[in-house]
Amino acid sequence: MTSVGELVLDFRSDTLTQPVPAMKEAMAGAELGDDVYGEDPTTLALQDAVARLTGFEAALFFPTGSMGNLAALLSHAEPGRALFAGACSHIKMYELGSYARIAGLNLIEIDDSHGYLELEVLRRSWCPDLYYMPRPGLVTVENTHNILGGKIYPEAMLARLRQFTQGKDTPLHMDGARILNAARASGRPVRDWTRHVDSVMISLSKGLGAPVGSVLAGSDALIGKALRMRKLLGGGMRQTGMLAAAGHYALNHHLPLLDRDHERCRRVYEHLRDLSWLRATQPETNILILETEAPVAAALREALAARGVKLLALSERKIRIVFHLHISDQACDQLATLIRGWDGQP
Ligand SMILES: *Cc1c(COP(=O)(O)O)cnc(C)c1O
């Protein structure tokens, strides 16, 4: 991670955080057992906590969100079925096509460029009930939406989507890597979303600041299948309590810190919104997307990197800036000043 003295200036992702000392203590002191035998008490406690948080019967710890999502796909839908997922979703873009390569699903891309997978668009893409068309298998939604700028999925929209998918006898999975950002930013419980889906994956290693870990939650039956699928994927782990303890610590202590990330994200947006060569999208959580008029995203990224500030260029015109627990007010001011003062030179 880039830092100048104590100042962390790395805005590439909220996955860059280091465990804080108290989190490391919790990890070192965790009570352990062999989790393949279901005997790691710290992991079992974390899974219980996430099941309660999400209102589901059960939950299962995973090393990564990608594996949690994939286990959900494998558990919900048989090979050959159709997976309806957003064209800009993490499952479609950044998981190596595992939905096809490993789960054997047939992707039907839904335009989510406005930030959400919408019912009307889904309905238009739904497979007709003909013997030579793929049968529906699963619908996935992302909350908050990562590359579309940390957008919160509106509950009413989700409720309508769920009514439709239930009518079609098709399960609905939420990639909720950042659902806790959604919950904090809107001051609402996680259950306001999870009661409308059949499963949710939550990342502990993003804004929450744990080094490793995601949790999949769902019914007892689904999590029973996911346990087998996790083992199939090579994810049966032993003394996972050391990792689960970090996640549990994060859930108990780091939720209020997300509010700070959201405030800082909004402040940087306010500093940049009047620039003529740049369009900043009003952020809802901890991700700020900037679109430049000219194709200069890479040049801007390089100019800032030369001054010790890191961010991601998503395309020729798109920049992603992410706020996390090591980013200070001072770092935000420095970022905004550098972008405002950029003269177009590398
Ligand atoms: C990061 C992320 C994942 C995957 O998590 P990993 O732990 O990096 O595998 C899935 N979905 C979304 C929306 C993410 O941002």
- Select from 74, 132, 145, 83 the least CA-distant residue to 110: 83
Whether 64 is in the pocket of ligand 1, judged by its Cβ within 6 Å, is yes
Q: How confident is the model at residue 5 (pLDDT cuts 50, 70, 90)?
A: low
Whether 235 is in the pocket of ligand 1, judged by its Cβ within 6 Å, is no
Decide: 36 and 237 in contact? Cβ < 8 Å: yes
pLDDT tens digits, residue range 116-146? 999 999 999 998 999 999 999 999 999 999 9
Question: What is the residue-wise DSSP string for 162-222?
Answer: HHHHHHTT--EEEE-TTHHHHHHHHT--THHHHTTSSEEEEESSSTT--SS-EEEEE-HHH
pLDDT of 266 > 60? The answer is yes
pLDDT of 58 > 60? The answer is yes
Give the pair of three-digit tokens for residue 314: 């998503």
pLDDT of 182 > 90? The answer is yes
Decide: 165 and 148 in contact? Cβ < 8 Å: no
Whether 292 is in the pocket of ligand 1, judged by its Cβ within 6 Å, is no
Phi and psi of 216, rounded to 5°? Answer: -105, 130
Q: Report how far ligand 1's centroid is from the alpha carbon of 341 (Å).
A: 33
Whether 179 is in the pocket of ligand 1, judged by its Cβ within 6 Å, is no
Cα distance between residue 340 and residue 275, in whole Å: 7
Q: Which atom of ligand 1 is nearest to the CA of 89?
A: 13
> pTM of the full predicted structure?
0.96
Q: What angle do the packed helices 241-253 and 41-54 form, to 10 degrees?
A: 40
User: Do the bridges between strand 287-292 and strand 278-280 make them parallel or antiparallel, or are there none, so unpaired?
Assistant: antiparallel
How high is the mean pLDDT of the chain? 96
Protein residue whose Cα sits closest to atom 4 of ligand 1: 65
Cα distance between residue 263 and residue 285, in whole Å: 8
| Ligand 1 binding pocket mutation candidate from 67, 206, 230, 312 (most atoms within 8 A of CB) | 206
91 SS3 class: helix
pLDDT tens digits, residue range 227-257? 999 999 999 999 999 999 999 999 999 999 9
Cα distance between residue 238 and residue 42, in whole Å: 12
pLDDT of 4 > 70? The answer is no
Protein residue whose Cα sits closest to atom 3 of ligand 1: 65
